[in-house]
Structure 1
Amino acid sequence: MPLSRRGFLRIVGSREEAFSGALIAARGLEAYYAEQQAPGARSRPVLPPGVEEIRINSNENPLGPGRVALDAILGKFPEANRYPFNSSPADTNLVDAIAAKYKVKPENVVLGAGSQEILKNAVRAFTSPERHLVTAAPTFENCTNTAKKLKHGLKEIKVDANFRLDIQPMIDASPGAGLVFFNNPNNPTATVHGAKTVADFVAKVRSLAPQAVILIDEAYHDYVTDPSYESAIPLALATPNVFVARTFSKA
């Protein structure tokens, strides 16, 4: 009988009382490994010659760039001696392309070196020891780890019995928050909330914490098959203090 990852987690969770969110989180470690590249950190083990590894712990696209993308990259090597702002295409061309695809204004688009840069900077900008971060547990850990390192306020809300973001407790934790992080679909529990639930969540948080920023991480947007799901980009465009993060690393 076919068994989905979510179904496996539910079976294990029902048979083992000691099963915890920490075990689920152990498979979604891309932020952890990225942070291990800090000065002085140990590098990953090197495999013996001729031995290949299957790396599935970081949810990367295993296929790599397509032929057209590779040709475009190789074609720009003669300009590798130039700074990005002195070569073409420039960052602004990418901003324009993203804006055109999603039918938004270029000023609505901010680029980062991966969505991790956006998430970390959101914590730095919008939280403090007095203005806490609201996030789920387990979820993508970048915001959580940054808040801990900065010793900023932090309220982690455990996912519910079905490994979904526990909406009402997250809303209840929002008064006084500087940032609310909402990972949808949620990594690493592979659960998703529909458009109405997200819109209601945003409205209730805005009512209780009008100064809080709501950051909706849609890194796994391209994999969603749930018909109730919609991107929150239109919601962000229409609502103050709401942002949506995407990444090129998954699709």
Structure 2
Amino acid sequence: MAVPGPFAGAALLDFLLRHAVAGVEIGATADDGSVRYARTLGLAHGPATLDLRWADGVLALAVDADPRDHGEAVRRVEHLVDAAAEPAVVDAHLARDPALAGLVAATPGLRVPGVLDPAEMLVRTLIGQQISLAAARTHGAALSARLGSPAAGGGPGLERLWPTPAQFAAVDPTTLPMPRARGRALVGVAERLLDGRLVLDPALDPVEARAALLACPGIGPWTADYVLMRVWHVPDVLLVSDLIIGRELAALGAADPASWSPYRSYATLHLWHAFLQRSPT
């Protein structure tokens, strides 16, 4: 895949792997630094398998899908890897702040991960509220095994599709492995996605999209802004209420977050990445 450089491919795929749900996603980092991320995905003409590999400065994509879906699969992966970014411009701007310059130099071309399926990303974000990343992955795997459709031909470790909004909307929220209020919020969001009250289309105005998200019970400012950052690729979101971001900002000391605008979403990723580099899981 052609993506403008610099491109921090290992960091982007590592971010995805840290959120990977068993049965839907697999991958690993090899001793030589190459990284593989593969997953199932439901497309218009049936299940697909996408296999992304980063090695020797090259991002490669293999698509196993109905040929009619190949173009859509590539388009979605381009969104996932933030292929439309201008990394040299972003890096130069953020590096003006001495407090952030070291992080930029350590990981040039860091991208804001996009999404393959906006509805999936929103539901997974709701599942992960106020629990650890490991717990969110466990819950996600259980839900995909219970509700998701089989992914024929996906191969070992890629047996299920992530559940659709229709599959979530049909569930009794009291049976979900989460607090009752969150279960009701998840099913409610699925219902809104089905009946059109909530539309996760990157072509829509992000201000209106944020208002629609905040109108959903169980979605607060952090979740709405996180969705804007990943689904709409809004470049200037700094998740100041995020616990990790708060700690990293404090550790930077004399940082000037206002000066990072209009690329604070990328600064957010640099702060997360700095934390993840110190975290084994």
* TM-score, scaled relative to structure 1: 0.28
Higher fraction of helix: 2
* TM-score, scaled relative to structure 2: 0.26
Larger RCO (alpha carbons 8 Å, 6+ apart): 2
| Higher Cα radius of gyration | 1
